Structure 1
Amino acid sequence: MAAQLTQGQTEVLGVDDIIVSVRHQEAIDLSAFLLTSEGRVRGIDDLIFYNQPTGQGVRLLPDRPNAAAIALREIPSEIDHVRLVVSLDDQLAQLGDYPAPEVSIADAEGNILYEYVIEELGAESTVVVLDLDRSDLAWQIRAQGQGYRSGFAALATGHGVAIDNPPVTAPETPPNGFAHPAASELPELALGGSYTPELVAGQDVALRKEGGAELTLVNMALGWDPIKIRGPHGSRDVDIDLDASALLFSGRQLVDAAFYGQLSSQDGSVRHQGDHLTGEGKGDNEVIVVHLTDLPQRVTAVVFVVTSYAGHTFQRVRNAFWRLVDGTSKAELVRGNLRAGGAHTGMVVAKVYRAGAAWKLQAIGEPIQAGHLVEAAPQVTRFL
């Protein structure tokens, strides 16, 4: 019966040839570092990974995903440690979001010697699974389970492996959310002119054209890009599915909506132009058209919300923006950015609201936890 290892436990290996394998429900990569007594590689050949599956004494098994055969007698004498590492293919995902990786160590005949479950992982995308340490008498195995939040590329660099592209890192979330100036401290902007203003939270814009004419048709557009990550398999794009929605309120009561699951409000005054699933392509990815003059009199505000359908946090959103466009002339009126990353899955972007007989736009830019309009709606009323 296999012995169960715990984090930090060290055992003497009684065999010279072992097979280490890792099971995980997501796509992962197993890599090995041949390290000197200083904990560094001698060169790139001491990193055994997907694109270089064979090294001195270590080889990844082509017929067994995420398994490595290690011949300890073939490890060079100047190598004191063999470090095995697992990383998610998606380096901006989190190991803590999935069931714990399961590690097994078997002899050359396939008899399982040790098993180990790596518990208590969190925001890390990469984890040091175990070390094989050379001692005076024999090789020892040491269960590690140490997560590495900065990712595989940063881990490799720390061990002396030159990585061409730096790892993708998410910006730190400011304490207690976003620090915005008070709305009373911000000037109201008027549309029209030689530049497109970029709003900050709390700032108001009168929905009038240059010269004072009221706008009758506006488009709220959302754009973003897929993210490019680098892992042991090289660089690849990861699709992010953001959704723009418009919520129609009468006072504080939600009366209608337009979103990917209901492309038009009941009266047709607000229309969603269609769902976009990846962020691929230049310019706007999703557009919501608002006929201001056709909005029912009872509608006092239209709130625009962006949510992440698959639950990807805004830490992973790249080049995201929203903008308001004159639906008649197609001129950009105002824009805001979604570049402030954080561990949230939604954003209350802005609201169009009645101010007497006219309409105004106010930037909001507040994070929420929501992957769908239904989850977002109860969190919107505090901004009305």
Structure 2
Amino acid sequence: MTPGGNAPLTATRVTVEVTALKPLNVSGLLLTEAGKARSDADLVFRDAPKGPGVAHRPAARNAPAAITVDTAALPREIGKVVVTANLDHASDTLAGTEPTATVRDSITGAVLVTFTPRRLSRETALVVVELYRRGDAWKVRAVGQGYANGMAGIAGDFGVSVPSRASAAPPKPVGPPAASPPLAKVTLDKGKVSLVKGGSVSLEKNGKPLLSSVRMALGWEPARQGRNIDLDASCIAYDAQRERIETAWFMKLNVFDGAIAHSGDSLTGEGSGDDESVTVHLDGLPSEVCGLVFVVNSFSGQKFTEIRNAYCRLLDAGSGQELVRFDLTHSEPMTGVVMCKLVRQYSGEWVMTALGEYVDAKTARGMVKPAAAML
């Protein structure tokens, strides 16, 4: 199977094995039609190996770790079972591990489908495949959605409140176990969020997407002396394999039939407020768009050490309300900076992450590959 591909399940009881070049933790999540777990009990893994219709099988000498699903025994409100994988050490990435899912008929052992995600790099956890209900039938879909924040990110997306339970191998006993605090998910529930480099915020409020159209605005101060500073803001759209699909920049102001629209080129940064902006209608993006990266380049050639007060901010495109702000607090002697990214999570929500990573490139063309590596 290829990413996004699906096939009918020809067996009622199936086993999803996940193999890799390193030992993996394999988990199963029972989800409702809304894409959320009902409670922590819907996470089935090594330390909680049984759920209604779902069971975890530990790795043995001749068999990899697996999740077995009896679709006939699943509660009616469960519309999907997601199979995930992560490495024993939470900080280890899946680069070069080549995890492969093999879906078998649990009774006969016959292979129904196989799937190997492509181009894993900085991911530490992975949604491998999903089994989902269509009417009275069940199908399997190849997913391959990676997470850089491990099982905590996956569990947070699907509403499991204590993600650390399945995120790493159990430590050797050295005394009484210490309680692990749940990881807080930053949302817009409390209003505007100020991000620091590496910080992330989910674009949802009270558990629901807050808005469907956003504007990413960027600003900087003009040069005090010498040549004018001509910075260019751009938005690069990528698919699930980190391949560029389109770029909205001063040479192409509208892409995807206006779903992404650039405000136009500012040559000097003169005037107060934002200098350039990109409006994104999230609901209008093609389904293959999984990530947007916002970059700024010094077309006039000055290094960012010569540029003052660069920032980006995310606004509600309808009301103009500022939602998120990221001010660059340091600079490097380069001509490009990857400001932030918007990534569509497997659950459908969008998450913004402040990056602030510098690259030597004077136009968006030179940012495509380095920005892809940061998704």
TM-score of the superposition, structure 2-length normalised? 0.49
TM-score of the superposition, structure 1-length normalised? 0.48
The higher radius of gyration belongs to: 1
